[in-house]
Structure 1
Amino acid sequence: MSIDVLICSLNKGIVRVDEVMLPPRSDVHYIVSYQYTDERYLDLIPESLSQREDVTLYKYNGQGLSANRNLAMEKSTAELFMYADDDTHFTEETFDTIFETFKQETELDIAFFRASTYTGKLLKSYPKNEQMLTAMPKDYIISAIEMVCRREAVQGKIRFDERFGLGTKFLTCGEEEIWMEDAVKAGFKMKYFPFKILETSTLLKKSMIYVDAGVQRSYGAILYYKYGRKAWLKSLQFAWCSARKRMCHFNPFFRHLLEGIAYMRKTE
């Protein structure tokens, strides 16, 4: 069994990629998908990347994390693939844990694992026991870096919605929720496992729902993607309840939710 680690990086982040990779092993290959917005950033690419036989580097002029992930997935050829950011750290047990999971779960399409901060604190309130997933978990939002996919089952059947995510100007998060909606509709066999496979410094953008307009627009857009016209009422209810709890001011919060809905209607 083999795995492609899809490392997505932008501009200055490329200098950290060396820290992501573990010592070479025959069943692990790293695909570095590097987006840059100015050619001067190309000078930052570590020479060590070209010296490792287990690394393939692709360079793209542009930005947008969802687009970067899609570009990286298209290059994968291994039996499994997983996503990593340029601030991701793997453990010594990461790949053995993944391989053993898929060897035991022969019909599994996508596995979800745990992530923690560098200090060992779990990133989210994960379930204690393994469980099948037929929808987004109720207690937390899955992240791309927590999942491992069987390539033949997933590649070419699902992509990240490039209207969402870091690097976009309007809908700055929410790509994982949209991805999960599409994965459920595609009928993938998905399962969560209570094993930590990586550490990260990633800030959970969704946690800024009450202070960030881009996150608020993204939430409105997600509601529309999931519920269609009912998104207007759900946005009203959410904004009203949030304002009553003094988490936000109703008018700007509700307006940003509606802006997300309008954007989705415009780009359908």
Structure 2
Amino acid sequence: MNNLPKLAIYTPEDVEILVSTMKRTSLSFLGKMFVNNDISKHHILIINQTDKEHQLISNVPNVRVINCQEVGLSKSRNLAIKNTVKPIFVITDDDVVFSKDFAITIAAGYTKYPEAGFISFQANTFTNKPYKKYNNKERELVKKRKEISLSSIEITCKTKDIVENKILFDERFGLGSYFKSGEESIFFQEILSHHIKAYHIPKVIVCHAEESSTSNPGSNKFIRARAAAKYLQYGNLSILWMVKFLSFLIRKKHIKVSSIIKKYKEGYQAIGEIRKM
């Protein structure tokens, strides 16, 4: 009996929330984020991208702060990942509101799937509607299945798996970077390429405003970022992927047939640009 493996049991104490923000000088913004929870019972790391005139200081033992003068959301995420100290981390922004007992939900997920290095959860809007269309089936996420659309605020990871495999966000992608979105899908593909077990649990952990224009599949910014990200995954075959993707956008009425040549040029140009970077 003594030779049986010890089961991993995680609690909220094992979870650290990695918050990206800019030019903050007060911790007051955390009040809204944790309005449904006791903030004193959560471990928080804030990355404050700022200047020398706007420094954030924490005198709260469970809240750590790193002020930096870098620009770019992916750089902020990466600095947080490099400095997290808990077994599980949650990626988030300063404009969300966490659901009641969200950390219990996350810890329970990793207790249920102790082999997991990545678990995605779900988000609602502030009107209590799904943040986007979700597959509500609890499941393992694998490469062979239909492409998964991820938002940063849904992502949680096991620190050991991410740090040991040196997985970080691609800093060419994300708000404040050359390509304004797409960093989540590249990050996730990197996780799968290292054979890290990934799961989706259809439970809401956070609320956020409705998706922005950078998440609009028909926008030039989205098409450019998506095409560049696919080049990293497929190489020159991404040019053929563009045809399939644009056909999908037309079918879903995200773009008009009359705009297909212009949209293709946007994607093709982005592929050329990422090749040179």
TM exceeds 0.5? yes
The residue that corresponds to 1:34 in the other structure is 48
- 1:153 and 1:177 map into 2 onto residues whose CA distance is 18
After superposition, the C-alpha distances for 1:121-159 in whole angstroms (9 at most, x for unaligned) are 111222222100013973751112112211111124211
Structure 2 CA distance for partners of 1:59 and 1:122, relative to 1, 3 Å: same
Q: Where in structure 2 are the equivalents of 1:111-260 lying within 5 Å?
A: 111-135=119-143, 138=146, 141-157=149-165, 158-168=167-177, 170-201=178-209, 203-211=211-219, 213-239=220-246, 242=249, 246=256, 249-260=259-270
Aligned residue type for 2:221:
G
The residue that corresponds to 1:79 in the other structure is 87
Deviation at 1:205, TM superposition (A): 4.5
The residue that corresponds to 1:16 in the other structure is 29
CA RMSD of aligned residues (A): 2.5
**224-233 or 63-72: bigger deviation:** 224-233
Does the CA-based 8 Å contact 2:217-2:249 persist in structure 1?
no
- 2:258 and 2:214 map into 1 onto residues whose CA distance is 15
After superposition, the C-alpha distances for 1:204-223 in whole angstroms (9 at most, x for unaligned) are 44542323x32221121022
State the percentage of identical aligned residues.
25
- 1:256 and 1:5 map into 2 onto residues whose CA distance is 36
After superposition, the C-alpha distances for 1:192-251 in whole angstroms (9 at most, x for unaligned) are 11111111125244542323x322211210221121111122224544675696266133
Partner SS state of residue 51, structure 1: coil
After superposition, the C-alpha distances for 1:22-63 in whole angstroms (9 at most, x for unaligned) are 42445x310000112x444x16x4xxx623211001011121
Aligned residue type for 1:174:
G
After superposition, the C-alpha distances for 1:158-195 in whole angstroms (9 at most, x for unaligned) are 11100001111x31100011111111101111111111
- 1:24 and 1:172 map into 2 onto residues whose CA distance is 31
- 1:55 and 1:153 map into 2 onto residues whose CA distance is 24
Deviation at 1:19, TM superposition (A): 2.2
Aligned residue type for 2:18:
L
5+ unaligned residues in a row in structure 2: which ranges?
1-10
Aligned residue type for 1:218:
A
Structure 2 CA distance for partners of 1:252 and 1:11, relative to 1, 3 Å: farther
**157-166 or 13-22: bigger deviation:** 13-22
Kindly tell me the number of residue pairs found equivalent between the two proteins: 258
- 2:61 and 2:95 map into 1 onto residues whose CA distance is 22
